[in-house]
Homo-oligomer: A and B are copies of this chain.
Amino acid sequence: MGRWEPNARGRLAEAALQLYSERGYEQTTVAEIAKQAGLTERTFFRHYADKREVLFSGAGDLQDLFVREVADAPEGTAPIEALVLGLDAVAGAFAGRRAHARTRQAVITANAELQERELIKLASMSAALARTLRGRGVAEPGATLAAEAGMAVFKVGFERWIEADEDQDMARLLREALAELKDVVAGGGQRAPGSPRTETGAQVARAQATEPR
Contacts and interface: CB of A to CB of B under 8 A. Distances in A.
A149 B184 contact: yes
Interface stretch (A13-21, A38-46, A103-111, A134-142): A134-142
Given A120-B119, A155-B148, A141 B190 contact: no
Contacts of A80: 184-187, 189
Given A137-B192, A139-B191, A189-B138, A184 B76 contact: no
A159 B140 CA distance: 11
A79 B141 CA distance: 22
Contacts of A116: 116, 119-120
A180 B80 CA distance: 12
Interface residues of A, number: 45
A152 interface: yes
17 contacts: A77-B190, A78-B190, A79-B189, A80-B184, A80-B185, A80-B189, A116-B120, A141-B180, A142-B180, A144-B152, A144-B156, A145-B153, A145-B177, A145-B180, A148-B156, A149-B185, A181-B185
